[in-house]
Amino acid sequence: MSFNLPKAELLQTVMLVQAALCDEAGPHTLSSGRSTHFTIDGGVMLENEVGYSLLQRLFALPTGEPYRCHVPRYAISAGFADGEFLVVAICWECNNISLNDSGRYDSRTFDGESQQAQELLRDVKRYFASPSETTP
């Protein structure tokens, strides 16, 4: 992937969302690829440092073998001071990340079974666990 994460000091907003794949873009959807649109089923605004750290960890995951489903359950949406934006949708079932970097689309694979990927998934799930649920 030729993507370079913008500098941390440019980050203005970052939101972690639960995602549900949908067929068409609409007023309540995000797009992370030319044909990868999803609705937001829930979201949380993150402090900039936390959000930036999640993005860094995501893009540092080891590469892996892709599968074809790409039904993302989570996404990260970030806005930057220079007007740039970033939407990444992550599918731990098929080891794929789709990326919309201010209208430039890309994708990459990762090793979803790696320790780094499993730790990241556990941390992401924590943001959406209700107080009565335990998070794996």
Contact 77, 14 (CB under 8 A): yes
Q: Crossing angle of helices 48-59/115-126, nearest 10°?
A: 150
* Spatial contact of 95 and 110, defined as CB atoms under 8 Å apart: yes
**Residues listed for the chain:** 136
Please tell me the distance from the alpha carbon of residue 84 to that of residue 73, in angstroms, as a whole number: 24
pLDDT tops 70 at residue 93: yes
The DSSP bridge partners found for residue 39 are 20, 29
Of the candidate ranges 6-20, 35-49, 85-99, the one whose mean pLDDT is the lowest: 35-49
- Which pLDDT score, from 0 to 100, does residue 119 have? 97
pLDDT band at 35 (very low <50, low <70, confident <90, very high): confident
Other CB atoms within 10 Å distance of the CB of residue 17: 23
* Tens digit of each residue's pLDDT (9 = 90 or more) over 53-91: 999 999 999 999 888 787 888 999 999 999 999 999 999
Report the distance separating Cα 128 and Cα 27, nearest Å.
23
